[in-house]
Amino acid sequence: MKKSIYPCIWFNGNALEAATLYQSAFGNTTINVANAVVVMFEIHGKLFMGLNGGPHYEPNPSISFFKVMASKQEVDAAWKTLLDGGKVLMDLNKYPWSEYYGWVQDKFGVSWQLSLTNSAQQEPDVYPSLLFTGAQNGRAEEALNFYTTLFEDATVEIISKYQPGEHDVEDHIKYAQFTLTGQRFAMMESSHQHEFNFNPGVSIVVNCDTQEEIDYFWLNLTEGGREDRCGWCQDSFGVSWQIVPSILGELMSDPQKVPRVTEAFMKMKKFNIQELKDAAL
């Protein structure tokens, strides 16, 4: 099942301000849709949703975003922009995995791992990175196997594990990289003390064309996890997902249909495409 997948970041009414900041930080960023509820934007062609969801949730470093850049000058400029009102999580410096790398949390609580490309062949990119901590530490490989089995078009690109003497649990995942239907992800785990874990502050949206696809992802992602309203769920690792019918955007584009469609889906947990279509009539 080849689906469109992209991250959603929860904001407290300031999604457009955040998207504008990312335009300044990275360049090559376009804002496609901006209204009171959502802001859809692309960074280097990768789609993001900014959701003005209110004060209920905040993003945290459990899901950050790797931003691979072509030059030190680009890294420095992005670092300076994102650090304004934000804070340093790891100093910008040379590390064993990168000639130039730093981890910063911006003023909206969104975390960015900025890194210089490792070779002339590595293209600039941006992708979510999942950090397994606390009760989820030690489950990263299980999650990797689950996600890459769940999605038909999935590949594992890199798996690197902690070796003896590397200041974390031997054989836990130090860094993994994989793709789900063309969307790249990274994965790490840490046994050190952290004050955060996965929450709906950053979720993963899966657009589905059919009810069969919605049923498939919902059934598998909620097993051992939790069902929430309006197509939201959490998997057994605590990662939040939105399983959304691709037709929803079309139904919500007609001002006359919006109230009826909204009333219908507010009553749903798992989306029902036929009931949405009926509500739009």
- Reported as a single tens digit per residue, the pLDDT across 218-273 is 999 999 999 999 999 999 999 999 999 999 888 888 888 888 988 998 999 999 99
**pLDDT tens for residues 148-185?**
999 989 999 999 999 999 989 999 999 999 999 999 99
How many domains does the chain fold into? 2
What is the domain range of residue 258? 209-280
Same domain? For 119 and 218 the reply is: no
**pLDDT tens for residues 23-72?**
999 988 999 999 998 999 999 999 999 999 999 999 999 999 999 999 99
* Closest by Cα among 43, 52, 44 to 20: 43
Please name the residue that has the structure tokens 């000639």. 99
Let me know if residue 204 belongs to a domain: no
C-alpha distances in Å from residue 33, one per residue of 28, 86, 164, 268: 16, 26, 49, 25
Is 185 in contact with 179 (CB distance < 8 Å)? Answer: yes
Assess whether pLDDT exceeds 70 at residue 2.
no
What is the total residue count of the chain?
Answer: 281
Strands 98-105 and 87-95, bridge-based pairing: antiparallel
Same domain? For 142 and 276 the reply is: no
The C-alpha atoms of residue 59 and residue 203 are separated, in whole angstroms, by 9
Same domain? For 216 and 95 the reply is: no
The C-alpha atoms of residue 243 and residue 218 are separated, in whole angstroms, by 7
Same domain? For 92 and 219 the reply is: no
CA 218 to chain centre: 18
Using DSSP, state whether 107 is helix, strand or coil: coil
Let me know if residue 64 belongs to a domain: yes
Query: What pTM, to 2 d.p., does this model score?
Result: 0.94
Both structure tokens of 19: 């998207």
pLDDT band of residue 194 (cuts 50, 70, 90) is: very high
Let me know if residue 196 belongs to a domain: no
Same domain? For 42 and 120 the reply is: yes
What are the DSSP E strand ranges found in 149-238?
A: 154-161, 173-180, 183-189, 202-208, 226-227, 232-234
Query: What does the mean pLDDT of the chain come to?
Result: 94
Same domain? For 10 and 68 the reply is: yes
Is 204 in contact with 191 (CB distance < 8 Å)? Answer: no
CATH number of domain containing 213: 3.10.180.10
What is the arithmetic mean of pLDDT over 94-101? 93
Same domain? For 26 and 154 the reply is: yes
